[in-house]
Structure 1
Amino acid sequence: MNARLNPDLLEATRLTRAGQLAEATALIQRALGGGIVPPFAARGESARRSDTSQAAEPALEGSCRVVDIGPFIADPDERPAQRDCDDAALASGPAARQPFAPASGLGAALHEKLFKFRGPLPVFEPDIGGGVPDALPDGARFITGSFTNPAGTRSYKLYVPSGYHGQALPLVVMLHGCTQNPDDFAAGTRMNELAEKEPCLVLYPAQSAGANPSKCWNWFKPSDQQAGRGEPSLIAGMTREIAASYKVDAGRIYVAGLSAGGAMAMTMATTYPDLYAAAGVHSGLPHGAAHDLPSALAAMQQGSKRTAAPASAASRPVPIIVFHGDRDTTVHPRNGEQVIGQCVASAARPGSSGAGAKPRANVQRGQVPSGRAYTRTTYHHAEGAPQVEHWTIHGAGHAWSGGSAHGSYTDPQGPDATKEMLRFFLAHAGEQKPASSTGSPA
């Protein structure tokens, strides 16, 4: 398998070094599940010659999201030039409308992996303004809205539980994965269902196809990895606007996400530690794991090669709960370990509540009845409270553990990640400042 795919990745590297950034990025983006690979003619004369023998292969149909290929490491000398690649702009160009023509067996290999490892597809493809995934309990609402700041505009859906009568409630921000949307993510995670049992507001920001063709949060772009800029400013501003519009307990605002959404949830915990009291990262990556598409692909396949700073620069590290399947072929399980490494290092940093103390690890093993086995590791700090939890789901792929088959990328056989995240969240309350009603980037 690797021998068949590596030539295509080497071709992307060659195109980058030759200055053909659009063609190289489009090729890599297809592997990430984003844009479309341009036709052979756009990839240069040498590429066309090397692909002649494969020209008769059928085109790959559908969107590829699962990648299981050999290591690809971007040349460090080329990275400064790659930082200027804008995947959204490239994917909107003429090449994006061309059919995908696989080379060197790439199409057949990705097709095989896609349908072997992807989770069940949703039974519907709801729109941001469409109907809710399930019937609402009496008195509950699932509201559609949008938020705008200088970084742009994003839509969202907000679940208001039937038990909300103006009292202060927690707020959980849920960031969907690639190709998903709020309705799909709500159906798959069942967070709205749990919000009825443990009353809380649930906010589902929606990534736009204009910002990313596959509706992935752009966790790998430096412009979307900083407070006050890009997508973090939009998500934080949206969070603050909802907190100001409803009665929200400012010390109990949380953020969680899956895959690209999990990576962005980690970025939100990193860049806004005074806004979010805890975070959940499911099948995601550490903050700053990549700086462009090639390094994103490399991190997804083998973990990040970069040494990122501890997750929070504030005196109060944000508690983190992490879920990752040990058979994940889309985002390597090593990324979950690296998220834990960032968080544990943050908690032991001088100036934090557990300054200088090495966290104590407690390992528990269990199994869901007629389901998957798991290993749960909790890291307890000086005051004894668990600050970090790491759930490794044995045999699981790239899917929300314990989710419903009514949503995409779920694994009903695993432990209930939604229930465990909410339990973890409600055990942690921060000392946040009251939410601002300005809605401006912070």
Structure 2
Amino acid sequence: MADHPNRTQARLADLVEATKLTGAGRLQEASDLIQRGLFGSQGASHSGQTADAATSTHSAGGIAEGLHDQFRGALDQVARKFGLSSPSGAVAQGANAPAPATSGFMGFDPATLFRDGNVPSLTTGEGTFTAHSFANEAGARDYRLYVPSRTVTHPPLVVMLHGCTQSPDDFAAGTGMNLLAEQEGFLVAYPGQSTRDHGQRCWNWYQPGDQARGLGEAEIIAGLTREVMQNHDVDPRRVYIAGLSAGGAAAANVALAYPDLYAAVGVHSGLAAGCAGDVSSALTTMRLGPSGAAILQGGTPRVPTIMVHGENDSTVHPRNGEQVLLQAGVDALTPSVSDGVSPGGLSYIRTRYADETDRVVVESWVVRGLNHAWSGGDPSGSYTDRRGPDASRAMVDFFMAHRLDRPRQ
């Protein structure tokens, strides 16, 4: 009997994560993951990829002799099941073992598979995912664009801004946004920060020259958005922007600077627009939360906003998420609070804020037990925690309920 497509994609995601763990020398975890996905092993213990996993110091020592052969055999079985090429060469044993001499499983060398934030496109759907470049007077950036396979007249557009050290491919894989785009029929653009403009690929959200309308990265991202709109006949009333961490802060800046361009904004583990004006204030704000005096109030009209933040975020203090909500104007709205537990076991509080017409214009998700990671994300991308509620789905649902009704400039 053929596998259900969702189950097949889940196994492929597990396979990608197992390959990543192998490249890091974490063979026991990789073997546990493969055993659970392939054989239904009850003894496997895998907690999911989180932001903390990037700095984990799990040791490959103590692995039983012969485990590498067992793992290679499991990969062979998965490869045969999905019609993929088999591993070439034995899997190296130990964290400091040399990389395989050949291209490795599925044509990727596990030691280099995720170098520079690149990941295989196993979660992109059936549409096209292509590379482009954009330039205007403010500067230039490369970007990736996902166009779904189904034909939609005047499709919506979602612009996604990655976090520090990430790339467009990495962010697309981790958020799974392309799969939702395929289902719903919208386009997704992923601008990419370059190491030339920031050594860690962070968006310069804290620099005044990149925060305001007509300046720096804000103008580049807005211009890139307009280019995609023009080239693909996008519905100008349904254009949205979202981001993670530094990308979330940049998305807040851009949305506030261009309220006539974006119908809504999503800020995940990010910061309010204008909350810092240099590196020193940025670091302080990330660690302690913003100073109220430093926040741009946004004025009228405010941009509909969805905020997602982990209660355990040790990189960007959760107070920053609260300030994102204040900047969106929740003090003048009526809240409706609900709570729940995600399928992965993390509890959350969801608050929806309605205006005087009972229209929800701000939404908040505070996730308990979530650190600095995309909630409900795919482990094939960095800075994700699949245990949490699905932030991508929540953002898309919120976005599609909003259309731009403000004058365009």
User: What are the residue-to-residue correspondences of 1:302-321 with 2, within 5 Å?
Assistant: 302-309=288-295, 311-313=297-299, 315-321=300-306
2:160 paired residue among 165, 174, 188 = 174
- Is 1:199 the counterpart of 2:185 in the alignment? yes
- Is 1:125 the counterpart of 2:114 in the alignment? yes
| Alpha-carbon spacing, 1:122–1:207, altered in 2? closer, same or farther (3 Å) | farther
Does the CA contact (< 8 Å) of 1:177 and 1:260 recur in 2?
A: yes
Q: Offset at 1:227? A: 0.5
One-letter amino acid matched to 1:145: H
Q: Offset at 1:312? A: 3.0
Instruction: For structure 1, list consecutive stretches of 5 or more residues without a partner in the other structure.
Output: 1-61, 63-111, 349-357, 435-441
Task: Quote the residue 1:232 is aligned against.
Answer: 218
Does the CA contact (< 8 Å) of 1:273 and 1:312 recur in 2?
A: no
Secondary structure at the counterpart of residue 388 of structure 1: strand
Q: Offset at 1:310? A: 5.0
Does the CA contact (< 8 Å) of 1:402 and 1:412 recur in 2?
A: yes
TM-score by length of 1: 0.66
Q: Deviations over 1:27-46 (max 9, x none)?
A: xxxxxxxxxxxxxxxxxxxx
2:250 paired residue among 264, 270, 273 = 264
Q: Which moved more, 1:222-231 or 1:368-377?
A: 368-377
Task: Quote the residue 2:101 is aligned against.
Answer: none
Task: Quote the residue 1:188 is aligned against.
Answer: 174
- Is 1:424 the counterpart of 2:364 in the alignment? no
Does the CA contact (< 8 Å) of 2:302 and 2:329 recur in 1?
A: no
One-letter amino acid matched to 2:209: S
Task: Quote the residue 1:134 is aligned against.
Answer: 122
| Alpha-carbon spacing, 1:390–1:378, altered in 2? closer, same or farther (3 Å) | same
User: What are the residue-to-residue correspondences of 1:53-202 with 2, within 5 Å?
Assistant: 115=55, 124-125=113-114, 133-134=121-122, 137-138=125-126, 140-164=127-151, 167-202=153-188
One-letter amino acid matched to 1:133: S
* Residue correspondences, number: 308
Task: Quote the residue 1:372 is aligned against.
Answer: 346
Does the CA contact (< 8 Å) of 1:270 and 1:311 recur in 2?
A: no
Task: Quote the residue 2:13 is aligned against.
Answer: none
- CA distance, structure 1, for counterparts of residue 367 and residue 148 of structure 2: 30
- CA distance, structure 2, for counterparts of residue 230 and residue 373 of structure 1: 39
Q: Offset at 1:124? A: 3.2
- CA distance, structure 1, for counterparts of residue 149 and residue 307 of structure 2: 29
Q: Deviations over 1:137-166 (max 9, x none)?
A: 44x11111011112211000000000135x
One-letter amino acid matched to 1:134: L
Task: Quote the residue 1:78 is aligned against.
Answer: none
Secondary structure at the counterpart of residue 156 of structure 2: strand
Does the CA contact (< 8 Å) of 1:289 and 1:308 recur in 2?
A: yes
Q: Deviations over 1:99-139 (max 9, x none)?
A: xxxxxxxxxxxxx997259xxx99833779x785226544x
Q: Offset at 1:295? A: 0.6
User: What are the residue-to-residue correspondences of 1:307-346 with 2, within 5 Å?
Assistant: 307-309=293-295, 311-313=297-299, 315-344=300-329
Q: Deviations over 1:232-275 (max 9, x none)?
A: 00000000010011120100000000000000011111100010
- CA distance, structure 2, for counterparts of residue 241 and residue 160 of structure 1: 14
| Alpha-carbon spacing, 1:191–1:311, altered in 2? closer, same or farther (3 Å) | farther
| Alpha-carbon spacing, 1:334–1:249, altered in 2? closer, same or farther (3 Å) | same
Does the CA contact (< 8 Å) of 2:241 and 2:262 recur in 1?
A: yes
Q: Deviations over 1:150-189 (max 9, x none)?
A: 2211000000000135x11000000000000110000000
C-alpha RMSD of the superposition: 2.6
- CA distance, structure 2, for counterparts of residue 433 and residue 253 of structure 1: 14
- CA distance, structure 2, for counterparts of residue 168 and residue 122 of structure 1: 42
Task: Quote the residue 2:239 is aligned against.
Answer: 253
Task: Quote the residue 1:27 is aligned against.
Answer: none
One-letter amino acid matched to 1:393: V
- CA distance, structure 2, for counterparts of residue 221 and residue 122 of structure 1: 36
- CA distance, structure 2, for counterparts of residue 114 and residue 305 of structure 1: 30
Does the CA contact (< 8 Å) of 1:311 and 1:317 recur in 2?
A: no
Q: Offset at 1:219? A: 0.3
Does the CA contact (< 8 Å) of 2:311 and 2:368 recur in 1?
A: yes
Q: Deviations over 1:386-414 (max 9, x none)?
A: 11111100011000000000000001000
Does the CA contact (< 8 Å) of 1:287 and 1:308 recur in 2?
A: no
User: What are the residue-to-residue correspondences of 1:292-303 with 2, within 5 Å?
Assistant: 292-303=278-289
| Alpha-carbon spacing, 1:362–1:136, altered in 2? closer, same or farther (3 Å) | closer
TM-score by length of 2: 0.71
- Is 1:395 the counterpart of 2:364 in the alignment? no
Secondary structure at the counterpart of residue 239 of structure 2: strand
- CA distance, structure 1, for counterparts of residue 120 and residue 128 of structure 2: 9
Does the CA contact (< 8 Å) of 1:122 and 1:405 recur in 2?
A: no
Q: Offset at 1:309? A: 5.0
